[in-house]
Amino acid sequence: MSVARAAIFHGHDHPLAVEEVPIPSLKEGECLVEIACCSLCRSDLHTVCGNRVEPTPTILGHEIVGRIVACEGPLPTGLTIGDRVTWGIAASCGVCFFCRQGLRQKCVSLFKYGHMELTAEHPLSGGLASHIVLRAGTPIYKVPTHLSDEIASLANCSTSTAAAVIRIAEAQSGDTVVVFGAGVLGLAAISMLHELGCQVLVFDPFTSARERAITFGATAVFHDLDALRAAVSDQTENRGADVALELSGVRSAAEATVNLLRIGGTAVWAGTASPVGEVPIDPEQVVRRLLTLRGMHNYAPEDLNTALEFLDRNHDVYPFAELFGKSFPLEKVNEAFRSANDSGGRRITVRP
Ligand SMILES: [Zn+2]
Ligand SMILES: [Zn+2]
């Protein structure tokens, strides 16, 4: 039996330990992927510093690009051994109630890469390793030739989530869209909306984030809510925004999305994946102004395809390459995390 190397997370009070892990024999429908690159997501940083709890031991990392080296049974359509691929953040069963409703990201037996407790059956389930085993029911996509591993690694987290948010917001060319938060998720959404032909008004308290938002296609940027509200009014003959997106994880931003909408407008909240407290919304506003309020968590498999096609068209149009800082070998994974906490928001990558 061959052996992989993996950085095992045993809890936030231990450094990650690079250990040898036996590669299990593959079951029907499983693929073994040799990892080329894994970028550290904000959620990984939160886990390592103890702000977020994952089952342990585990292998963190879910923004991954690699090559298929083996598969048990027929490969998914269109793929061959040796293809450079990325895949959905989770495998789903395809037959449970939620899968049949088209909500595969909420499958009752969801298997989420980079978030699972290691077991003898599934010892390789995260990106901070030399190899990963992809389970049956994982949406796997070939990475377009011209995309770097780094930029492609963004696809299966922030870019796909942005694609999902814009899909359910039903944003159209010419719409005025407000985006709260210009982190990596916000920048993905801003550039997609810009490509779509929307006017994108962006709110972020940080100067560097606002400056970056402009280079990703923001029409205008704000750090003052009153100035934002005035600009939305100006832009829309006082109607209000067609769409407002909460991508910052800040409670007051969620409240503001609803207040900035026009009659019939849609707000999507996707920034908050842990409790932040309540938001006061008067139901009368939702009723009389015919508002739609939606949430998005994870994303559907087709959103990953949208994300990869978008990055293939636009990796040079918007400065995605500038979102990346240093790259570290797996043996220096603890140094990679220290660097990520100190990188001014740039993504740090680990290349085994
Ligand atoms: Zn992520
Ligand atoms: Zn299911």
Which ligand ends up closest to the CA of 61? 1
CA 264 to centroid of ligand 1, rounded, Å: 32
What the block records as the tokens of 64 is: 């991954």
Return the pLDDT at 76: 86
Which ligand ends up closest to the CA of 64? 1
Over its length of 352 residues, how does the chain's per-residue pLDDT go in tens digits?
Answer: 699 999 999 999 999 999 999 999 999 999 999 999 999 998 899 999 998 889 999 999 999 999 999 999 999 889 999 999 999 999 999 999 999 999 999 999 999 999 999 998 889 999 999 999 999 999 999 999 999 999 999 999 999 999 999 999 999 999 999 999 999 999 999 999 999 999 999 999 999 999 999 999 999 999 999 999 999 999 999 999 999 999 999 999 999 999 999 999 999 999 998 889 999 999 999 999 999 999 999 899 899 999 999 999 999 999 999 999 999 999 999 999 999 988 888 899 999 9
CA 141 to centroid of ligand 2, rounded, Å: 20
Q: Which domains does the chain have, with CATH numbers?
A: 3-148+315-351 (3.90.180.10), 162-295 (3.40.50.720)
CA 280 to centroid of ligand 1, rounded, Å: 29
| N-to-C CA span, the chain | 20
Centre a 10 Å sphere on the Cβ of residue 134 and count the other Cβ atoms it contains: 27
Q: How many residues does this entry show for the chain?
A: 352
Return the pLDDT at 273: 85
CA 185 to centroid of ligand 1, rounded, Å: 9
Give CA angle at 67 (64, 69), nearest 5°: 130
Return the pLDDT at 1: 60
State how far the alpha carbon of 11 is from the alpha carbons of 14, 16, 40, 330, in Å. Answer: 6, 8, 17, 18
Return the pLDDT at 136: 94
Instruction: Report the candidate in 340, 295, 310, 305 with the shortest Cα–Cα distance to residue 217.
Output: 310
Task: Give yes or no for a contact between 84 and 65, defined as CB atoms under 8 angstroms apart.
Answer: yes
Which ligand ends up closest to the CA of 104? 2
**What are the DSSP calls for 131-186, one per residue?**
EEEEPTT--EEEPPTTS-HHHHHHIIIIIHHHHHHHHHHT--TT-EEEEE--SHHH
